[in-house]
Structure 1
Amino acid sequence: MIRSISLGIAVVSALCFGFSGPMAKYLGAAGLSPLESVWVRMAGAGLVLLVILAVARPGALRIPRDRLGFFAAYAVIAVAGVQALFFLAITRLPVGVTLLIEYTAPVLVVLWVRFIRRVRLPRAAYLGALVAVIGLGVVVEVWQGLRLDALGLLLALLASACCAGYFLMSDNLHVDPLGLVAWGMIGAAVVLVPISQPWGIDWAAFGRTVTVSDFTLPVAGALAWLIVVATVIAYVAGVTAVRRLSAAVGATVASLEVIGAALLAWILLDEHLGVAQIAGGAVVLLGALLAQTATAARQAVPPVGEPVLTGVQGR
């Protein structure tokens, strides 16, 4: 039962993240640049969480002195790095290829856990991550229109590394997850100021309505959904799931975000799924199901004489 609940939380996180692309399209149609949209998203989500926690759980906002560096690294790597590098990469590479490269993160997480933290994982963890990446390749039809711009490839690889960092750092059991996400968002908004240049945002755009593929939404409504659902709920659920499942399993299950995004784009943007997308989605689901069997490896059993290594050691 506990495992099923944990997996459910991970799926909710992936589906909520899936709204990012469709809602960002409405902001783009209103005139915001991708980096402006990222900044508004991070700043808005950070403020929402700060207000909620200040009223309901003020203790969650306290940052222990010995964790200041960790919180700063989370803001820069796990939030600002993932968001900014992805949006910069898609200016030089096809979106599908960039997504595929970014979602090699589960493989990076599995390798980190095995060789850096020295935690033994069952074969299902490795197989699930590999199968999920193969499925993503089919979903985005990586064989079509591939052009490997050197800088774009580097940016996408860095985004993948930051994405892996998000899962690994979210696995830290010594900090409050809600406070971590709240300060991570605020810190990311501060870090992104120089490149997002929010002073140039056309704030009047949020009072308009825009139409994308015959579907009309108020821009303010799209932004609210992007902030509350695709950011606050997605990040909080994601961190919670990683702590329950482990970074390796949580990262692989998070690959379902691409499937969720494709389905939502089909519904909201009339971007139809082809046979390859449906087949690839089934493969991704298989990878996620394989990976979830590795949940029992949250605490590995080492040979006699060696210390027990858990998911929180090695940071």
Structure 2
Amino acid sequence: MPVHTSQGSQGNHGRGVGLGLALASAVAFGGSGVAAKPLIQAGLNPLHVVWLRVAGAALVMLPLAVRHRALARGRPTLLAGFGLLAVAGVQACYFAAISRIPVGVALLIEYLAPALVLGWVRFVQRRPVTRAAAVGVVLAAGGLACVVEVWSGLGFDPLGLLLALGAACCQVGYFVLSDHGGDAGEQAPDPLGVIAHGLLVGAAVLTTVTRPWRMDWSVLAGTARMNGTQVPAFALLAWIVLVATVLAYVTGVLSVRRLSPPVAGVVACLEAVIATILAWVMLGEHLSAPQILGGAVVLAGAFIAQSSAPAKGSAEPVARGGTERELPAHETAA
């Protein structure tokens, strides 16, 4: 089934709102590592942190899942795909990858997702994309290479590279599924309902993989060290659940509905820059000159990509994930 894109990005106002939501999502997602790293250093297994993140968010969103329970009957494939790919797949593959290869390398590979989104649009759905969007992806990927200093790692574990690529593919599923049915008007699946059910599916899958009953729960009752300061572990977990997961997914899905999978995907690359800046400020992990330059290049690439969508009614190629909106007869004739 082809994935249709939304009409919400039509017009400057819609694109402006979509860009703001995408930036908010990048900031929220980018803060997850800063909060999770002290918990891991305090003794929690990385996969257990992932399970706490997803299960806690699923519990918060449970009332919305109940409210939109009809989605489970009407869109079971969409919900299963979102839970498996956009929630469980991305998190599990990424944390498994960083156990075998450097974090920076895994992050760069994961954020090849925008380029993979464009490949999906161009070669699977056979839709044209703007040159500006493609240039934006190239710039963002090059900037990310500087941000994570990919040259600092040499020999990599093949399985680790494969897991990082799996995280990138799952992130493609996040952007494509987030946009699913966005042009169906009132018949479109409610994005909050999709997120709520997706988190429930992801939590169920991660429970079987991570076996949380083996977790050292006492860590959450103590404190974790953040750049020399003792912070309550439960407060860090609350940030991860409420901001880095619930808020991040809600703003991210809504941004895709107003932009498009390729454009929102490139803007999401800012997560790596934001995460690096937050680590600099809150964890004392300083930025080098190449990383600062790379961050500027990522910003430039994101701006070029998000500004590449044509004006309403334009016949130019689009950086979108599905079929173009049908024009009224008089516009078509014109």
TM > 0.5: yes
The alpha-carbon distance between structure 1 residues 139 and 239, as it changes in their structure 2 partners (threshold 3 A), is same
Residue 276 of structure 1 deviates from its aligned partner by 1.0
Q: 2:42 aligns with which of 30, 51, 57?
A: 30
Give 3-state SS (helix, strand or coil) of 1:120's partner: coil
Q: Which residue, 8, 16, 23 being the options, matches 2:20?
A: 8
Specify whether residues 300 and 109 from structure 1 end up closer, same or farther in structure 2 by C-alpha distance, changes over 3 A only: farther
Q: What is residue 165 of structure 1 aligned with on the other side?
A: 173
Aligned structure 1 segments of 4 or more residues deviating by more than 4 angstroms:
297-303
Are the structure 2 counterparts of residues 299 and 82 from structure 1 closer, same or farther at C-alpha, using a change threshold of 3 Å? farther
2:205 to 191, 196, 215: 191
Distance (whole Å) between structure 1 residues aligned to residue 19 and residue 85 of structure 2: 25
Give the Cα–Cα distance (whole angstroms) in 1 for the partners of residues 229 and 313 of structure 2: 48
2:101 counterpart letter in structure 1:
L
Distance 1:245 1:134 in 2: 23
Gaps of 5+ in 1: none
Aligned partner (choices 118, 123, 135) of residue 115 of structure 1: 123
> Which residue of 150, 153, 163 maps to 1:145?
153
SS in 2 for 1:295: coil
Q: CA deviation at 1:106?
A: 0.2
Q: How does 1:249-288 map to 2 (within 5 A)?
A: 249-288=263-302
SS at match of 2:162: helix
Q: Does 1:238 align with 2:238?
A: no
Measured in 2, the distance between the counterparts of 1:47 and 1:64 equals: 17
Aligned sequence identity (%): 49
Output the amino acid matched with 2:253.
Answer: V
**Quick check: 1:101–1:157 contact (8 Å CA) kept in 2?**
yes
How far, CA to CA, are the matches of 2:291 and 2:113 in structure 1?
Answer: 20
Q: Contact 2:17 / 2:258 at 8 angstroms: preserved in 1? A: no
- The aligned length equals 303
Per the TM alignment, residue 107 of structure 1 is displaced from its structure 2 partner at its CA by 0.2
State the SS of the aligned residue for 2:114: helix
Cα deviation per residue 1:211-258 (whole Å; 9 max; x = unaligned)? Answer: 132122100000000000000000000000011000010000000000
SS in structure 2 of the partner of residue 217 of structure 1: strand
- CA-to-partner distance for each residue in 1:248-269, whole Å, 9 max, x for gaps? 1000000000011011111110
Q: Could you say what secondary structure the match of 1:92 adopts? A: coil
1:136 is aligned to: 144
The amino acid across from 1:246 in the alignment is S
- Structure 1 residues 32-41 or 138-147, which shifts more? 138-147
**Is 1:77 aligned to 2:85, yes or no?**
yes
Please provide the CA RMSD for this pair. Answer: 1.9
Which of 39, 45, 48 is equivalent to 2:57? 45
Cα distance in 2 between the residues matched to 1:227 and 1:153: 28
SS at match of 1:271: coil
Structure 2: state its 5+ residue gaps.
1-12, 183-187, 326-334
Q: Is the 8 A contact 1:121 1:300 kept in 2?
A: no
| Cα displacement (A) at 1:117 | 1.8
Contact 1:121 1:297 in 2 (8 A): no
For 2:255 and 2:86, the matched residues in 1 are separated by: 16
Residues 276, 287 of structure 2: 8 Å contact kept: yes
Q: Distance in 1 between matches of 2:111 and 2:233?
A: 29
| Alignment match of 1:227 (pick from 229, 236, 241) | 241
Render the CA deviation track for 1:45-64: whole Å, top value 9, x for unaligned: 0110113x26xxx5434315
Between 245-254 and 65-74, the greater mean CA deviation after superposition: 65-74
Q: Deviations over 1:29-81 (max 9, x none)?
A: 33210000000100000110113x26xxx543431534101211111111101
Counterparts of 1:97 and 1:299 in 2: how far apart (Å)?
41
Match of residue 229 from structure 2 = 215
Structure 1 counterpart SS, 2:125: coil
Relative to 1, partners in 2 of residues 1:40 and 1:78: Cα closer, same or farther, differing over 3 Å? Answer: same
Partner of 1:248: 262
Contact 1:76-1:188 at 8 Å conserved across structures:
yes
| Match status 1:292 vs 2:306 | yes
Shift of 1:128: 0.5
TM superposition shift of 1:209: 1.2
When the two structures are superposed, what TM-score results if normalisation uses the length of structure 1?
0.91
Cα gap change, 1:26/1:143 in structure 2, threshold over 3 Å: closer, same or farther?
A: same
- Write the deviation string for residues 161-212 of structure 1: whole angstroms up to 9, x where unpaired: 1111110111112311111111111111110122211001222221111213
State the distance in 1 between where 2:199 and 2:312 align: 28
